[in-house]
Amino acid sequence: MATIRVKDWTKRELEKIRNAESHSSHDSVIKSLLKDRKLAKYADGSPEAVPDETGQSQGSELDKAFDDLTVLAEVTDVDNDVLFLWCPNCGNELVHLTVERPLGLSVFEMECQRCLTHLDRHAIVAIELRYPIEQKMVEGRLQADLKDCVIDYWDRTLAAAADGTLETETAVDRLVWQFDQYQKQFTWDWPSDVPAVSVAPGVTYRNTVTDERIEVVEPVTENRNALDSYAIKRCTADGDVVSDQMDSSTIVDRIVNRELVVTEQSVDTTTPAK
């Protein structure tokens, strides 16, 4: 591999950027600067900014919502051996990582320095810097796609758990608890066309199997590392309203089997992520 010689001043400047932005190497710093230069050209309307490069997507074999956005847990290939990781909650770029192959990221956690959310591989998005992702970054339209990418991943992961095809060492109830915690931290309004991954007070759900409406009232337990049980009001198909309780194991079953959809949510309980 060719070696590029640089002056001491240049080395010092690269080191400052590396420390300030938490890069893993000087190579990562240079690639970041090249990326910023490419985005600047795109903003100026330069034709060089619309690349015609082709390559294997980080999760191209998956039936997922976006070709150029992949939740870290599903990343199987890395373009140019560099991962660009983003927070789906606030749209902040977390870090650039220079990685080696084969890729091994079974455990990866970090905190977003903007929103201070602790994230793991089930809630970090890896992006591939190519058109149209670059255009959305310049125009400030990327965050909605980051959110939709994570929602799609959670939905597909739980569906795989339901049909027994999910390959993970994490227990399913633990996985549901993780998704539940993220959903509540992110305070996302949940789309009505995607089965819920969480239950929260102030939200009314419809059980698509029984057609019952379930209004979640309040938690009746205070579990720190597992789902809580909740007091609920159950509205039957006949119109009767019954006070009841839904225990945590039942909630896990309903969520994994993709039975609950949101029909009404309180503004005070869930608000769209900014």
- Same domain, yes or no: 86 and 182: no
Rounded Cα gap, residues 28 and 14, in angstroms:
10
- Same domain, yes or no: 134 and 23: yes
pLDDT at 231: 98
pLDDT band for position 142 (50/70/90)?
A: confident
Q: Is residue 271 part of a domain?
A: no
Enumerate the β-bridge partners of residue 246: 230
Q: Is residue 2 part of a domain?
A: no
Question: What counts of helices (H) and strands (E) characterise the chain?
Answer: 6, 11
- Same domain, yes or no: 183 and 116: no
pLDDT tens figures, 73-87: 998 877 677 888 999
pLDDT at 271: 42
Read off the pLDDT of each residue in 145-152 and give the average, rounded to a whole number.
96
Number of domains in the chain: 2
- Same domain, yes or no: 100 and 17: yes
Please give the distance of CA 203 from its chain centroid, rounded to a whole number: 22
Q: Is residue 158 part of a domain?
A: no
Q: Is residue 51 part of a domain?
A: yes
- Same domain, yes or no: 106 and 51: yes
222: pLDDT strictly greater than 70 = yes
13: pLDDT strictly greater than 60 = yes
Taking CB atoms within 8 Å and a gap of at least 24, the contacts of 39-43 are 39/134, 39/137, 39/138, 42/134, 42/135, 42/138, 43/138
Q: What's the maximum distance between 2 C-alpha atoms anywhere in the chain?
A: 79
pLDDT at 55: 41
Burial of residue 199 (CB within 10 Å: 0-12, 13-18, 19+) is buried
Domain span including residue 194? 172-265
- Same domain, yes or no: 190 and 89: no
Read off the CATH number of the domain in which 177 is found.
Answer: 2.30.30
Q: Residue 235 — φ and ψ, nearest 5°?
A: -105, 110
Least confident of 92-101, 179-188, 226-235: 92-101
56: pLDDT strictly greater than 90 = no
Q: In the 3-class helix/strand/coil scheme, how is 112-131 assigned residue by residue?
A: CCCCCCEEECCCCEEECCCC
pLDDT at 169: 80
- Same domain, yes or no: 31 and 118: yes
269: pLDDT strictly greater than 60 = no
| Nearest alpha-carbon partner for 129 in 157, 96, 172 | 96
- Same domain, yes or no: 177 and 120: no
254: pLDDT strictly greater than 80 = yes
pTM over 0.75? The answer is no
Cβ atoms of residues 99 and 82 within 8 Å: yes
pLDDT band for position 52 (50/70/90)?
A: very low
Q: Is residue 103 part of a domain?
A: yes
- Same domain, yes or no: 117 and 15: yes
Q: Which of 140, 155, 188 is the last residue of a domain?
A: 140
pLDDT at 198: 95
Residues listed for the chain: 274
Q: Is residue 157 part of a domain?
A: no
57: pLDDT strictly greater than 50 = no
- Sheet strands (E) in the chain: 69-71, 82-86, 93-98, 109-111, 118-120, 125-127, 203-207, 213-219, 230-235, 241-246, 260-265
Read off the pLDDT of each residue in 170-180 and give the average, rounded to a whole number.
94
Computed over every residue of the chain, the mean pLDDT equals 82
Q: Is residue 163 part of a domain?
A: no
- Same domain, yes or no: 133 and 177: no
